[in-house]
Amino acid sequence: MTDPARATVVPVALGSRAYEIVIGADLIAAAGAELARRFPGARYAVITDETVAEHHLDRFTAGLADADLGYSTIVVQPGESSKSFETLASVVDGVLSARLERGDLLIALGGGVIGDLVGFAAGIVRRGMRFVQVPTTLLAQVDSSVGGKTGINTRHGKNLVGLFHQPSLVLADTAALDTLSERHLRAGYAEVVKYGLIDDPAFFDWLEIHRGEIFAGGPARAEAVARACRAKAEVVRIDEKETGPRALLNLGHTFGHALETATDYDAERLVHGEGVAIGMVLAHEFSARLNLASPDDAVRAARHLAAAGLPTTLAEVPGGVGTVDGLMQAIFQDKKVKRGRLTFVLTRGIGKAFVADDVVPELVRDFLADKLVG
Amino acid sequence: MTDPARATVVPVALGSRAYEIVIGADLIAAAGAELARRFPGARYAVITDETVAEHHLDRFTAGLADADLGYSTIVVQPGESSKSFETLASVVDGVLSARLERGDLLIALGGGVIGDLVGFAAGIVRRGMRFVQVPTTLLAQVDSSVGGKTGINTRHGKNLVGLFHQPSLVLADTAALDTLSERHLRAGYAEVVKYGLIDDPAFFDWLEIHRGEIFAGGPARAEAVARACRAKAEVVRIDEKETGPRALLNLGHTFGHALETATDYDAERLVHGEGVAIGMVLAHEFSARLNLASPDDAVRAARHLAAAGLPTTLAEVPGGVGTVDGLMQAIFQDKKVKRGRLTFVLTRGIGKAFVADDVVPELVRDFLADKLVG
Ligand SMILES: NC(=O)c1ccc[n+]([C@@H]2O[C@H](COP(=O)([O-])OP(=O)(O)OC[C@H]3O[C@@H](n4cnc5c(N)ncnc54)[C@H](O)[C@@H]3O)[C@@H](O)[C@H]2O)c1
Ligand SMILES: NC(=O)c1ccc[n+]([C@@H]2O[C@H](COP(=O)([O-])OP(=O)(O)OC[C@H]3O[C@@H](n4cnc5c(N)ncnc54)[C@H](O)[C@@H]3O)[C@@H](O)[C@H]2O)c1
Ligand SMILES: [Zn+2]
Ligand SMILES: [Zn+2]
């Protein structure tokens, strides 16, 4: 069990909303003592989903009990469908039933679904309570638990309702990923690779060497999580409310979202990280086609993602991705169109991504049409 | 129709969240032009309740149409029961259906219920949209539309869920109050008087002279609203998130909430402002009993409120207010108890209220017991 005092700590420098991301193996068991030290006198509502509860809830609450902390637990259904008004209302009701006061904390124990849902609930109960992220998926550890974006889905689209509410602490237990499915581990890995591709070629080089160890659970896993968190924390510091540079984090996501739409957000066919993996390769290939980057970089990015077991081409999407018209429609829906031009994250090579706000839609269409035929 | 350029403007100085309260007769009809000037290019979702819609919606939307502004309307049921997760979800759905973008605005046309509900919806759609308060009750004009507190009720209590989200503009049409019931006008007036009692004895003097004109709708009405808004804006400026001085605004509210609880929040028996009227008199009487203030001030406060048609004694509550045990329980529920002491707004006389955090519960109990017997 990692002594939290020896864990890696990544600060998120947001002034009065600053917090720390603590990263290490078996932090879940050590969380009670850590919380007792950081939030004296507080009580907790631990919110998780059934699958995560099965694997990790007992160990987590045993640590709370050992530290003599008062807590309640609220368990919701696993899956994206829990990011709804109904589940939000039931979590809020559970927190109020537990008689938590404004100084107490909510705990989001789970993946990005739990993090987004619980962060939202924390933001609105008693007009704002503190909360702790305990991310248990790789995606949540390197992406969704950091930055304070919270939200739920509606019939009009994903994440259209929510708020910015920063956690007071993130405890990323890298050993918790041992119970995660291979597929979700890979999907989260796509987001790790993203940070290398955006602006850190040395990190990408390092990932090429350490990928195996990250998947197997060696010390490189915690290091990968820490480096990814540092990258995200820096972007969040500069652009907390996502009005500018934070857009770089969308590398691969415009194409990725279009693929998720084309597969009806059916997780059996495509999970988010898989869409992002294909999307990042497409962004590199499209940049190469615009003569912004060397085609070799697209090949290198694709080779690495494929070695991790991720899909990298449209042809790999089960059931196909439909027509070029369908994809273009999804892209227009996702993006704001300014004077007929699209905003896209493009790249000049590995680690040299940039935001282009003048992409001509016809060029995207031609590119996708070519990709679809082969 | 008041030319908005000649209306009274009260600034709310909150840095990047600063906004203006514009006060004058018939601003509803002039709102379209004013919005066009202030928010070029924006579209609107106008949210109101059925009763307000009947009296004021057509005039409001006619102004929008005249100014060539795009808008949708969403009409909810009148009454406190609309401050619910269900109605919140339906308002959010309506706003998304109207395809409002992040630069567009929501408009809260109505009383405090609509303001609290729409402010909350604005705070969470697309993680925060701008909104305009167009308060149509006196209570909303002098209290709820200013300060950014938004929220809904749950079975655990009132306003337990919500967030701080400041409006971008408040347009208080004092002529809109002409269609309001006498009872609601009086209830709002209790909150006007509150500002005098807190820290502005000259305002209280002025109210003693101008009460009739305020109710009748003369120029004193706009002046009363402006002075109340100035007072609230100043408290909000100093303590936006209600961590300290803003507590003074709760003068009369601890007793008042206990009376609302004792009457099951049944508006037939007692509306909020009536509870506050009785509560303010009790706060003065209790302060006199503690030898903090002269009993004459309690008499003077009561006389003014009674002259306005407001109840000022427990005996006036239809159906009674139950036992002293019941009232004390409600008080303990409302207030945080610190080391066995209660926090209360007490007073040293008209315009000399202060926050006391060391009130001995037994003294409150004895006082209420005496009041209950007569
Ligand atoms: N807030 C943000 O900034 C942000 C960023 C990216 C993604 N997101 C959101 O994150 C969500 C996706 O996150 P996710 O992929 O973590 O999804 P998730 O929370 O649904 O987790 C995926 C699955 O893994 C299970 N699981 C979680 N931890 C486990 C563990 N340790 N062992 C075994 N099973 C485990 C879950 O029960 C679930 O079935 C989406 O809703 C997305 O919108 C948010
Ligand atoms: N956010 C805050 O800071 C704050 C402060 C005080 C009170 N509040 C909240 O405000 C609410 C009470 O506000 P309220 O008294 O305005 O209640 P309300 O909005 O329910 O209005 C009272 C009644 O008057 C009707 N009405 C409104 N304007 C009218 C008009 N011009 N003509 C005719 N009828 C009209 C409404 O339809 C309603 O039936 C409560 O929910 C309370 O919690 C909030
Ligand atoms: Zn992503
Ligand atoms: Zn009040």
Q: Does residue B289 have a pLDDT over 80? A: yes
Q: Does residue B358 have a pLDDT over 60? A: yes
Chain A residues within an 8 Å CB radius of B124:
120, 124, 161-163
A268-310 pLDDT, tens digit each:
999 999 999 999 999 999 999 999 999 999 999 999 999 999 9
What pLDDT sits at residue B120? 98
> Is A55 known to be catalytic?
no
Any idea which residue has 């009460």 for tokens?
B211
> A147: Cβ below 6 Å to ligand 1?
yes
What pLDDT sits at residue A263? 96
> A143: Cβ below 6 Å to ligand 1?
yes
Q: Which residue of B has its CA nearest to A120?
A: B124
The alpha carbon of B195 and the centre of ligand 4 are apart by a number of angstroms equal to 11
> B136: Cβ below 6 Å to ligand 2?
yes
A128 touches chain B (CB under 8 A): yes
Question: Of A92, A151, A162, which is closest to B154 when you measure between CB atoms?
Answer: A92
A178-190 pLDDT, tens digit each:
999 999 999 999 9
Q: Does residue A166 have a pLDDT over 60? A: yes
Q: Does residue B6 have a pLDDT over 90? A: no
What is the bridge-based pairing of β-strands A169-173 and A130-135? parallel
What pLDDT sits at residue B245? 77
Which helix (H) or strand (E) covers residue B133, if one does? strand B130-135
B164 touches chain A (CB under 8 A): yes
* ipTM, interface predicted TM-score of the complex: 0.94
Contact by Cβ (8 Å): B278, B311: yes
A97-101, B92-96, B167-171: range with lowest mean pLDDT: A97-101
Cβ within 8 Å, pair A96-B164 = no
Ligand closest in space to the Cα of B277: 4
Any idea which residue has 């209600």 for tokens?
B242
Q: Which residue of A has its CA nearest to B148?
A: A127
**Mean pLDDT of the A76-103 span:** 96
> Is A304 known to be catalytic?
no
> B49: Cβ below 6 Å to ligand 2?
yes
| Domain boundary assignment for chain B | 4-179, 182-373
Which atom of ligand 2 has the smallest separation from the CA of B79?
A: 20
Q: Does residue B262 have a pLDDT over 60? A: yes
**Strand locations in chain B, DSSP E?**
8-12, 19-24, 44-49, 71-76, 105-110, 130-135, 152-154, 157-161, 169-173, 337-338, 341-347, 353-359
Residue A340 — very low, low, confident or very high, per pLDDT cuts 50/70/90? confident
Q: Mean pLDDT across chain A, nearest whole number?
A: 95
* Interface size between A and B, measured as CB pairs under 8 A: 63
Cβ within 8 Å, pair A164-B93 = no
Q: Which residue of A has its CA nearest to B241?
A: A127
The alpha carbon of B158 and the centre of ligand 2 are apart by a number of angstroms equal to 14
Q: CA B325, B340, B338: angle at the middle one, nearest 5?
A: 120
Q: CA B128, B133, B136: angle at the middle one, nearest 5?
A: 150
The alpha carbon of A90 and the centre of ligand 2 are apart by a number of angstroms equal to 27
**Mean pLDDT of the A91-116 span:** 96
The CATH number of the structural domain formed by A4-179 is: 3.40.50.1970
What pLDDT sits at residue B2? 59
What pLDDT sits at residue B241? 85
A77 touches chain B (CB under 8 A): no
Q: Does residue B330 have a pLDDT over 60? A: yes
**Cβ neighbours of residue A213 closer than 8 Å, sequence gap 6 or more:** A219, A220, A221
What pLDDT sits at residue B332? 86
**Which of A117, A161, A335 would you mutate first to test chain B, the one with the most B CBs within 10 A?**
A161
Residue B251 — very low, low, confident or very high, per pLDDT cuts 50/70/90? very high
B137-174 pLDDT, tens digit each:
999 999 999 999 999 999 998 999 999 999 999 999 99
A118-157 pLDDT, tens digit each:
999 999 999 999 999 999 999 999 999 999 999 999 999 8
**Mean pLDDT of the B325-336 span:** 84
Ligand closest in space to the Cα of A117: 1
What pLDDT sits at residue B141? 98
Cβ within 8 Å, pair B164-A128 = yes
Share of chain A above pLDDT 70, in %: 97
Cβ within 8 Å, pair B160-A85 = no
| Terminal Cα distance for chain A, rounded | 50
**Mean pLDDT of the B79-107 span:** 96
**Which of A72, A127, A338 would you mutate first to test chain B, the one with the most B CBs within 10 A?**
A127
Q: Does residue B333 have a pLDDT over 80? A: no
What pLDDT sits at residue A242? 81
| Terminal Cα distance for chain B, rounded | 50
CA–CA gap between residue A225 and residue B251 (Å, rounded)? 51
Cβ within 8 Å, pair B164-A89 = no
> Is A34 known to be catalytic?
no
What pLDDT sits at residue A1? 55
Sign, Cα dihedral of B62, B65, B69, B75: positive
Half-sphere exposure of A55 (CA within 13 A, CB side): 19
A127 touches chain B (CB under 8 A): yes
A119 touches chain B (CB under 8 A): no
A182-373 CATH, one of 3.40.605.10, 3.40.50.2300, 2.20.25.190, 1.20.1090.10 = 1.20.1090.10
A196-221 pLDDT, tens digit each:
999 999 999 999 999 999 999 999 99
CA–CA gap between residue B248 and residue B232 (Å, rounded)? 10
Which amino acid would we find at residue B370?
D
Q: Which residue of B has its CA nearest to A160?
A: B126
What pLDDT sits at residue A226? 98
Residues 248-267 of B with CB under 8 A from A: none
The alpha carbon of B284 and the centre of ligand 1 are apart by a number of angstroms equal to 55
B11-21 pLDDT, tens digit each:
999 999 999 99
Cβ within 8 Å, pair A97-B156 = yes
Chain A residues within an 8 Å CB radius of B149:
127
